[in-house]
Chain A
């Protein structure tokens, strides 16, 4: 863990789970993360949106799983030993699974390290800002947007 982050960790910091999608690193606010599970068998749901690979069973709960790669317009996933499913639980909404290439680490970001006015929005509203930490830049995922935009697309 980077030193400068540790120093600031007590004041106004937010913890993010660093994940790899394609060749980019993304951060997902830890408060949304319910669980991280290994890749498992996904039951395909016919006629679903292409980025929905299907549903999985997490302790008796049926959770739809989406591929962030497909969602972000990247190459379809190649499942490896490092592939993980993040069970994300947005406020007021049912949980959903995100397939990511790899889960790296937990990153502490102080508020001043986050650039919210970023105009690097290549993936549009999926990014809520860009965080700066010792190992470089990290795109902070706007979880609500990933889910709501998807709902709009569904209709």
Chain B
């Protein structure tokens, strides 16, 4: 323990930062690299495991980091498949196009983005407008939306998250988040926060709110029903029919994208996910299988 030791600490820290400077590594080797959405990581990891158990010849590495991280990696050529829980932004598509990358997208599952509160919260439903106002910081007390007195404690994701962008675009009317929101590292951390905080509100993928061992909503959490507006009926994201028909207002497709000349193994993996077998696993893990609208689009892209 001396001065030099501290200096080296600072130096190595900075060196790590420097290591982030752009070096376009090409995704080489046999290993299939999948990267992106944190909402999808558990699902894709399980899909990869099951796929590998059948096709031992194609090893698959699944990484998280957030949708934005995945898109950047695909554009920079450091991964083969990128997972996103949101649509690609125009800026990103332009950037890919500039690099001569033709991006093909496949909807692999449907997620009912779930608004969660602590079980002690007596509230049962919110409208889209209310959720938006809460996350914009306009509503700061639960009383204003029909709850009991208490300051709203906001939990959200960080800006590299697709769910963060999705909420902003589809729920918050493209307005910025409240500065007081706690920005957590992933879905699991949001759930940890909401479980411990009686005044909390959070948003996570539907696959995260269900306890895998019992198939029921996780203990200590309350999943709010959400309605399109004050007149419409409110639905739960656990209601399969409501998500399928679009009555649950914040359902969204989860995407996988490949670029340029994708490896045959990458397309093979995606095709398997889209098959009846893959979709069964999607459903088992708490998400929803894709509807007919996307099946057609996927088939078109597969050609």
A joins B in a complex: no
Q: Which A residues fall within an 8 A CB radius of B?
A: none
